[in-house]
A = this chain, B = another copy of it.
Amino acid sequence: MKPPLKIAVAGLGTVGAGTLLLLQRQAEPLAERAGRRLLVAAVSARDRRRDRGVELSAARWYEDAVALASDPEIEVVVELIGGADGIALALVEAALERGKSVVTANKALIARHGTRLAARAEEKGVALCFEASVAGGIPVIKTLREGLAGNRLKRLYGILNGTSNYILTAMRESGREFAEVLAEAQKLGYAESDPSFDIDGVDAAHKLSILASVGFGRPVDADGVYSEGIRHVSRLDIEFAEELGYRIKLLGIARWTEEGLEQRVHPCMVPRSSPIAAVEGVENAVVAEGDFVGRVVLQGRGAGAFPTASAVAADLVDIAAGRRTPAFGVPSALLRALPLAPMETHQGAYYVRLMVVDQPGVIADVAAAFRDEQVSMASMIQHGRAPGEAVPVVLTTHETREAAMRRALVRIAALDTILEEPRMIRIEDF
């Protein structure tokens, strides 16, 4: 057997501690699969005294994470600190510079600096691995990069944020409003005290940008992701979705179109019969549509210390066994800056919910606004009657262009009988 692979782990929060526990508990099977032992020779974290439930006496301790990169014995640095910049970036850059491979769970870092870091890793002949950065322990990066290597992807989409999916699921199951469910999720620890990163689509956009890069061979471009979160999804929308045969999910979608590559994160109505509709609670799922393989669905727990540790371990075994794959599937020089399709050119069907005064002529005015923008209506629902009062009206459209839809909504919002900002949710044809 080859000598052990000497590893440094930076960041001993829940994911770091879970990773150490995994490496300790599965030492034998990992060694059998990798052909050598995986040895944690150094660690770094803020508080040395905290009990993390794992034996650390054999590892050298560094106060300064970046100093791990200078430990001559270390071959691989595992970065579990987090954050797009700061110490995490400094450590990863220093490690690559000194010819050490890097494994990271840091989606913000890869979404922001992935292409540049991958190029540097190639120049240095080392690995940059980030399976743990997207969808927890589900091997989505490996699947796109290796398992589906024989395909050109047509579309790639997924439920990439467990917190948002938990909130949408709980809203549907309990019939409660967003704010109430969010407060409960925060109490249960499923949502952060500042939930914006999750519920406004930032986290999902980071992950989608990474998947899109691996799936479509484009440099990672988190700024090129159109992004909306779930704050404006109401109980009413969820009820109407059920009635129309849909379920509402926050999806990240990358799709190749005539206008370029779409990269978007927003709430979607998906047919209740589609596999993605059945992915509930904190689960994640990624769906890849390839020209040869057809549709492949991967589902599992998208977060948590243990699933994330599972992904980190898989990357370490690949490195230990000498299996090397370019970070984004092809050498970074071959990543192509394909044009990004602006959201205005998006084509799809739409759901629109209006709060209107229940009086004759309202629907005629709305229909006229759609007609004037060449948007074709597919269905209309208004339950009951309440003359003179505010009632919800729901409309769906046939496939139309986003720009036309937005113009129609501006016209509609200006009508006297429309009492609130119109709400629009895109319908996907899965």
Evaluate contact between A318 and B26: CB separation under 8 angstroms: no
Evaluate contact between B33 and A329: CB separation under 8 angstroms: yes
Chain B nearest CB from A237 CB (Å) reads 24
- Please give me the 7 A-B residue pairs with the lowest Cβ-Cβ distance, nearest first: A150-B313, A139-B147, A137-B293, A293-B310, A296-B300, A297-B299, A292-B310
Q: Is A6 an interface residue (CB 8 A)?
A: no
Evaluate contact between A151 and B292: CB separation under 8 angstroms: no
Evaluate contact between A142 and B147: CB separation under 8 angstroms: yes
In chain A, residues 198-240, which have Cβ atoms closer than 8 Å to a Cβ of chain B? 217
Evaluate contact between B334 and A32: CB separation under 8 angstroms: yes
Q: Report chain B residues within 8 Å CB of A136.
A: 293
Pick the contact of A30: B137, B150, B307, B310 (CB < 8 A): B150
Q: Is A347 an interface residue (CB 8 A)?
A: no
Q: Report chain B residues within 8 Å CB of A323.
A: 146, 323-325
In chain A, residues 286-315, which have Cβ atoms closer than 8 Å to a Cβ of chain B? 290, 292-301, 304, 306-307, 309-314
Q: Report chain B residues within 8 Å CB of A143.
A: 139, 142-143, 147
Q: Report chain B residues within 8 Å CB of A313.
A: 149-150, 292
With A137-B294, A295-B300, A300-B295 known as contacts, the answer to whether A314 contacts B152 (CB < 8 A) is no
Q: Is A67 an interface residue (CB 8 A)?
A: no
Q: Report chain B residues within 8 Å CB of A355.
A: none
Q: Which residue of B lies closest to A321 (CB)?
A: B325
Q: Roughly how many angstroms separate A32 CA and B324 CA in the complex, as a whole number?
A: 14
Q: Is A29 an interface residue (CB 8 A)?
A: yes
Q: Report chain B residues within 8 Å CB of A34.
A: 149
Q: Roughly how many angstroms separate A138 CA and B306 CA in the complex, as a whole number?
A: 24
Q: Is A119 an interface residue (CB 8 A)?
A: no
- Dominant SS among interface residues on chain A: mixed
Show 9 A/B contacts (Cβ-Cβ < 8 Å), sorted by A: A30-B150, A32-B330, A136-B293, A138-B293, A139-B147, A146-B318, A150-B311, A150-B317, A292-B306
Q: Is A260 an interface residue (CB 8 A)?
A: no
Q: Is A275 an interface residue (CB 8 A)?
A: yes
Interface residues on A, range: 35 or more
Q: Which residue of B lies closest to A23 (CB)?
A: B150
Evaluate contact between A292 and B307: CB separation under 8 angstroms: yes
Q: Mark A263-283, 1 if CB is under 8 A from B, else 0.
A: 000000000000100100000
With A147-B139, A150-B317, A278-B278 known as contacts, the answer to whether A309 contacts B292 (CB < 8 A) is yes
Chain B nearest CB from A40 CB (Å) reads 14
In chain A, residues 165-215, which have Cβ atoms closer than 8 Å to a Cβ of chain B? none
Q: Report chain B residues within 8 Å CB of A217.
A: 29, 32
Chain B nearest CB from A80 CB (Å) reads 15
Evaluate contact between B317 and A293: CB separation under 8 angstroms: no
Evaluate contact between B307 and A293: CB separation under 8 angstroms: yes
